[in-house]
């Protein structure tokens, strides 16, 4: 039936869905493709999509879309990876990665100084599935080596730990993993590919929360992993099976952030250095955690691994504990109190109530996360304005 002769309800249902003729130009920015399903002219076309690895096309949103593919190709290029896969969150990525590597009765080794959500996954959820988790201090190479056994299925580390900014020797840990034939998975969220590309140091997989530096503007949620194709495709299968797919809009919004990543990371790093230098001599501050400071345990390693700086993250312990932290947070004017990081504006969080909320007191103590700790995420503002806001807030502590 010709579209013009159809009933109005039929024309309305099909309005705008006719494929346009091949254009003479293309969008400069990859378009947002929001469709959740794709149509086929013939059943044979779907068969080809399923059976031919070289075939291009899409079928259903859980299996990806052109927007997902554009993001994954972009991040894979930044990381120097064979492939990449996206998911609904950073936690969805690491969950899929662990389940792709290990099953009941098998072992994962991980850094005990992991982000709170990762720590909960490792200590509560994975044991329920029968997966044995051995926690180690990833800055202690001997301890990591002792923990690895012939049956270890993966080693999980953070390039810089959240929130205490411990620096792990990524090349040495990756070499150890290769020697023991254990895949090494690196959470590089705190540094982004602009400052560290773990795959270049021998990692099997590098992963990020898209809500942080890759997106950069606190509008997109998701996670992405890049690395060796065999493992990336195993992750993709798990994400499809578990339904942890990334929304197309989140993928597209992250694409908007990628081109400015190197410029933003340079500015984040500049602001963080200035703030850390200011805070280290402030009488209200007991400790500053920032690897660029000469007294930091990872300072020498940072000099080798991060020639362009180590990003915009730092943490501080206030001398007055929780009371001082509450007064500090209530007094900020320019800097927002927000339970995330890596926005273009400077923000702070309170780890015991945000990233590490719900962890037992003894675990928090072992991780070095106390009631006076503030995590600071440097934005791209002029450092003088950020320091001025910190100055007036700290005066009330």
Which one is catalytic: 61, 119, 166, 187?
A: 187
* Number of CB atoms found within 10 A of residue 249's CB: 14
Which one is catalytic: 112, 166, 197, 212?
A: 212
238 among known catalytic residues: no
Strand-strand pairing, 347-349 and 336-337: parallel
Kindly state the tokens that stand for 159.
């390039």
115 among known catalytic residues: yes
Which positions ≥6 away from 64 have C-beta within 8 Å?
58, 72, 245
Which one is catalytic: 38, 45, 58, 62?
A: 62
Which one is catalytic: 115, 213, 278, 306?
A: 115
Residue 242: φ, ψ to 5°: -90, -5
187 among known catalytic residues: yes
Strand partners, 376: 314, 348
CA atoms within 13 A on the CB side of 277: 9
- Closest by CA to 33, choosing from 70, 71, 67, is 67
- Is residue 35 within a helix (H) or strand (E), and if so which, with residue range? none
165: left (phi over 0), alpha (psi -120 to 50) or beta: left
Cα distances (Å, whole numbers) of residue 204 to 155, 201, 268, 368, 385: 10, 9, 27, 29, 41
- Is residue 168 within a helix (H) or strand (E), and if so which, with residue range? none
Residue 276: φ, ψ to 5°: -60, -45
In SS3 terms, 98-160 reads as HHHHCCCCCEEEEECCCCHHHHHHHHHHHHHCCCEEEEECCCCHHHHHHHCCCCEEEEEEECE
17 among known catalytic residues: no
- Active site members: 62, 115, 187, 212
């Amino acid at each position: 039936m010709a579209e013009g002769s159809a009933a109005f309800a039929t024309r309305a249902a099909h309005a705008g869905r006719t494929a346009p003729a091949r254009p003479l130009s293309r969008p400069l920015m990859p378009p947002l493709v929001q469709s959740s399903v794709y149509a086929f002219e013939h059943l044979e076309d779907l068969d080809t999509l399923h059976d031919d690895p070289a075939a291009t096309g899409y079928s259903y949103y859980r299996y990806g879309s052109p927007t997902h593919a554009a993001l994954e190709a972009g991040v894979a290029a930044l990381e120097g990876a064979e492939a990449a896969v996206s998911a609904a969150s950073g936690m969805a990525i690491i969950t899929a990665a662990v389940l792709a590597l290990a099953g009941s009765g098998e072992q994962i080794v991980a850094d005990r100084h992991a982000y709170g959500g990762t720590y909960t996954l490792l200590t509560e959820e994975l044991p329920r599935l029968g997966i044995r988790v051995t926690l180690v201090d990833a800055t202690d190479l001997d301890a990591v080596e002792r923990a690895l056994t012939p049956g270890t299925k993966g080693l999980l580390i953070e390039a810089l730990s959240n929130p205490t900014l411990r620096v792990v020797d990524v090349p040495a840990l990756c070499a150890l993993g290769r020697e023991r034939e254990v895949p090494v998975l690196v959470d590089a969220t705190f540094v982004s590919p602009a400052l560290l590309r773990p795959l270049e140091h021998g990692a099997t997989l590098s992963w990020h929360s898209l809500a942080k530096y890759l997106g950069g503007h606190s509008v997109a949620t998701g996670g992405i992993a890049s690395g060796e194709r065999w493992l990336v495709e195993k992750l993709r299968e798990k994400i499809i099976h578990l339904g942890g797919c990334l929304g197309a809009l989140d993928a597209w919004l992250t694409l908007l952030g990628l081109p400015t990543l190197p410029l933003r990371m340079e500015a984040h790093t500049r602001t963080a250095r200035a703030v850390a230098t200011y805070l280290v001599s402030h009488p209200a501050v007991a400790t500053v955690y920032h690897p660029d400071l000469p007294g930091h345990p990872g300072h020498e390693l940072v000099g080798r691994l991060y020639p362009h700086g180590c990003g915009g993250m730092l943490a501080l312990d206030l001398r007055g504990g929780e009371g001082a932290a509450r007064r500090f947070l209530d007094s900020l004017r320019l800097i927002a109190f927000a339970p995330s990081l890596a926005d273009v504006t400077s923000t702070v969080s309170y780890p015991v109530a945000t990233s590490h909320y719900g962890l037992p007191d003894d675990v928090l103590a072992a991780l070095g996360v106390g009631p006076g700790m503030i995590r600071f995420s440097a934005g791209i503002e002029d450092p003088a304005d950020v320091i001025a806001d910190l100055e007036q807030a700290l005066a009330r502590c």
